[in-house]
Structure 1
């Protein structure tokens, strides 16, 4: 427990002890009053001080003002123990609330304790020099030892190790890193020493982006939070005026004594304090943001929790979002008499000097690294493919038009994808299919969205129509639009939002620079945080730190639970307030009922709010 909480707890115990002593029958009335005054000063002195200070600042109608007027008025009519009890329970409620907020804040702080302390740079004599991560230029080779956080994004140039990325992605399974692998800052190096060539400065790193998101997460307030703020601003002066009228009008009309109606007015003031609403609603959103962060889902503001909770349509980019964004060989179809391995190796040799992603996929699928010495010359035919002389033989690798140039008739492709036909010395050898594969979590993502109540899924892509429709059919996506330019995506997204208006919000999930305009346009923009471009992350409202599309459904579930708890607290708090206010106005609620309707309701609402930070199964 923090020092401030311990001090409040000591004050609560001291005040409760003095209040208990005041009930001893042998004490004189004066001693009882003095004990109650001492107890009140200990437990409520700071509240009265804040009320006076705020009055001089022009902030009159706040909870401190209500509590001070009500309790000092109780003293004025001789209700000494009740006055102390009101302050006592109020401070207990505030302590509960402060502890709950600190727990939520600490959970986020522990989760986001990824800020690197230093970076190690190796000097010419082999010694390591520690510098601040902000001082490391892009392109510098840094050394990360076991137990240290990776300070900047980069590529491993030497060493291999296991990395703990749980603080970034929410996944506990370590990831292996070896030569050539891209690693992100904030990951914890577990086993081996890594030498990493940085790909950017600290300000451009993943960890800097994440910390910025979390630190600014409360900058955008939800509509519900704004409503509560406005509600409290107008509600407080209204109830103060009502209390004054309650104290003055009935006696003037001869409906009772002044002391009776003054007592009821004071009880009315205590009941009316809107602590439960003002405290529990922001706390619920804060707890929801904390739970999402632990899952590797970062919200840029609580307003996006509210928007995501109402999502009924989810629009996806394809490449890098639903698919891995990299080509691999997905099918090998040799003609009779040709081995599949031979077909792929021959295609890889023909493509040995090409920088095209398809060529890289063919070389990666070869049974062994292609030997450049076997390739004598290469001729590229734009839009058709490549002719290479391998071991003195002309090898054709390309599309149907190149096969026509070679004088052979290719087979009809067996599956959808980028097809590379291969011919050698005028004989057709077969074809290889290269395609961007669907992420293993994508099917789970789509089924999770359907379970979450998402009514329609849409895919927008610049890829070929046949490829897009194949992916959409495989995943069960409702609507697909292919061969789109960035401007086309924006136009289609506008149409989708207009058509679906009034049927819930529309979310867009993407990762590329070309997705940034659509991310901005959508009701909720969701970006892939690991492989996503800086432009996409900047434009998005929600960031998925491990590029797992299944976390869209997780985010919706967290958002809906958070908003449901907010609504529960609003209905509960207002319902109890109205009921007890009416009872207090007609004299059927005493000061103890007033204490429960204020402090008791606040404590219950706070405990309910904490549920938003509990892990979903």
Structure 2
């Protein structure tokens, strides 16, 4: 900065005041060295490294050439404005990187380790599994764990993008990166810091740029071939007209060639395109969507088939009594009571959900002659009455006349003294945004939406009908899901990409096989998150269409930069070759265009109004 200011002052004095030619030269040359010395040094170092054709080399040739034809002011001006432009670009890039990283500024500085009756402030790296930590109001949760004591509201926005605080209490699992808002929490650590959620998220976002998108790779290769072509074209522009055009002077055509060189710097593309992808990844992370590389962000533009797992992905993965239907004189409370008493000896998740729905204490002494009939249900005497609770097979086996019903979920029938009394439905509750997610995917051009599930066919078909899916494949084991995915690959279009969205350990092989594997980060297993290319931290299917929209907008911004940069450069190159454009226009076509492209790239970070 100091060198630039002194160089600019010297340049201004030499430009405004009249000095003798020798003093003027010394002042311009000193100004040039102060302003452009760093660029010249880089160019020389790169030549020795074999990296001949880069922007430093182009700038050095152009400005030295300007001095050679005694265009001292323009030689200094080009270097000065190039360096000022580079400075502004660095400021813009650094600011965008800082703001992207601040979106996930969740790295904890310390942990309050409980040692006996004392509390020690230590680095999170020093805390081991099964250690106890204390988290006070206002502090970040430093490691993943289970709350042993305390109740609080936690801010989960850094991880999930959710603005509404979440209530946690004793027995709740809690993730590192959340911020404790109210009560004091005692947490038993379940993962070391290197394996914790916050550590993995930081690693994902910071290393996402290592997996380059095809557009980025193309621009890198393009610059490698483009620059030498430009250098030799400029050389031809300086020499050939003087050989074939009468009256053509070398100094005039050399000046045009120098303009050609300055304009041709590919900085705008080389800087703004990777920054555009980085900003897109940052914008997605702000919305609770973690993308592991810009290649995956670009692939999202070509999604034409989406395959969902059911449990934990489209549904909550939690059994719940969703319907109570009575028959005859029986009322709902009585029906639920008899079913709860009959299921009170079972530890099955379905039985647990019934007892939770009943919500009252059960005196098991009132349950006599309890008999569990495998694959059918339960037979018992409750308060002196023979009670049958189970599936349709049990009713048929015991010759009970009943009305068979088809519902989403598990239907439990009740008969008292061989008389049918009604049924309850226990089902895995649908996520509230599953339906809207499917509609939005259709709206943005996804052609085929399919569900793979290990659940029964009747349940799978009903959920598929309710959500409006194209197809459903049920009762699949993990390896069968992979086989089914292979079949679906053959059905998709040539350029189209296939996405699989899942959450469990059994989904890991399918996530790894898909073009893009997307895992549910909140309830998802470590294996699924590890195998996935994108992680949805809020467990909401509706985040998938948002991710695709972010990808499409990022791509649109990047192509705006490419077209704008090449368009402006093309026009000024033509004007320069015709002798119309001067070095000042050349500087704008290089530095100005690069700066505008960088500022445009930063827009990809904004996730509003998608």
Alignment partners' CA distance in 2, 1:53 and 1:120: 50
Q: Does the residue aligned with 2:445 lie in a helix, a strand or coil? A: coil
What's the CA shift for 1:447?
A: 2.2
Q: Does the residue aligned with 1:327 lie in a helix, a strand or coil? A: strand
Alignment partners' CA distance in 2, 1:319 and 1:189: 30
Which residues of 2 match residues 302-313 of structure 1 at below 5 A?
Answer: 302-313=294-305
The question of whether the paired residues in 1 share the 8 Å contact of 2:401 and 2:419 is answered with: no
Over 3 Å counting, the alpha-carbon distance change for 1:449 and 1:384 in structure 2 is: same
Residue of structure 2 equivalent to 1:172:
163
Alignment partners' CA distance in 1, 2:455 and 2:179: 37
Over 3 Å counting, the alpha-carbon distance change for 1:295 and 1:247 in structure 2 is: same
Q: Which of 352, 356, 360 is equivalent to 1:360?
A: 352
What's the CA shift for 1:184?
A: 1.4
Residue of structure 1 equivalent to 2:125:
134
1:148 aligns with 2:143: no
Residue of structure 2 equivalent to 1:284:
276
Normalised TM-score (structure 2): 0.95
Residue of structure 2 equivalent to 1:5:
none
Deviations 1:219-255 (A, max 9, x none): 2100000000001111111111222222223323455
What's the CA shift for 1:69?
A: 1.0
What's the CA shift for 1:557?
A: 0.7
1:339 aligns with 2:331: yes
Q: Does the residue aligned with 1:23 lie in a helix, a strand or coil? A: helix
Q: Which of 229, 234, 239 is equivalent to 2:225?
A: 234
Q: Does the residue aligned with 1:316 lie in a helix, a strand or coil? A: strand
Residue of structure 2 equivalent to 1:522:
514
Alignment partners' CA distance in 2, 1:85 and 1:408: 97
Over 3 Å counting, the alpha-carbon distance change for 1:133 and 1:426 in structure 2 is: farther
Alignment partners' CA distance in 1, 2:345 and 2:456: 26
Moved more, 510-519 or 391-400: 391-400
Q: Which of 567, 570, 574 is equivalent to 2:559?
A: 567
Q: Does the residue aligned with 2:353 lie in a helix, a strand or coil? A: helix
Alignment partners' CA distance in 1, 2:488 and 2:118: 59
1:20 aligns with 2:7: no
Residue of structure 1 equivalent to 2:538:
546
The question of whether the paired residues in 1 share the 8 Å contact of 2:93 and 2:598 is answered with: no
Deviations 1:118-159 (A, max 9, x none): 3333333x3223343334333344322211222222222321
Q: Which of 204, 210, 218 is equivalent to 1:213?
A: 204
Moved more, 176-185 or 322-331: 176-185
What's the CA shift for 1:280?
A: 0.9
Q: Which of 396, 417, 436 is equivalent to 1:444?
A: 436
The question of whether the paired residues in 2 share the 8 Å contact of 1:583 and 1:589 is answered with: yes
Q: Which of 37, 45, 60 is equivalent to 1:45?
A: 37
1:108 aligns with 2:104: no
Residue of structure 1 equivalent to 2:523:
531
Q: Which of 231, 242, 245 is equivalent to 2:236?
A: 245
Moved more, 22-31 or 43-52: 22-31
Deviations 1:87-134 (A, max 9, x none): 12212221222122212211222122222233333333x322334333
The question of whether the paired residues in 2 share the 8 Å contact of 1:558 and 1:616 is answered with: no
- Structure 1: 5+ residue stretches without partners: 1-7
Alignment partners' CA distance in 2, 1:530 and 1:313: 24
Residue of structure 1 equivalent to 2:576:
584
1:605 aligns with 2:597: yes
The question of whether the paired residues in 2 share the 8 Å contact of 1:104 and 1:286 is answered with: no
Which residues of 2 match residues 159-198 of structure 1 at below 5 A?
Answer: 159-198=150-189
Moved more, 272-281 or 310-319: 310-319
The question of whether the paired residues in 2 share the 8 Å contact of 1:276 and 1:603 is answered with: yes
The question of whether the paired residues in 2 share the 8 Å contact of 1:104 and 1:290 is answered with: no
1:370 aligns with 2:370: no
Moved more, 40-49 or 216-225: 40-49
Over 3 Å counting, the alpha-carbon distance change for 1:448 and 1:50 in structure 2 is: same
Alignment partners' CA distance in 2, 1:220 and 1:444: 32
| Backbone CA RMSD of aligned residues | 2.0
Which residues of 2 match residues 464-483 of structure 1 at below 5 A?
Answer: 464-483=456-475
Alignment partners' CA distance in 1, 2:9 and 2:347: 81
What's the CA shift for 1:530?
A: 0.9
Over 3 Å counting, the alpha-carbon distance change for 1:392 and 1:99 in structure 2 is: farther
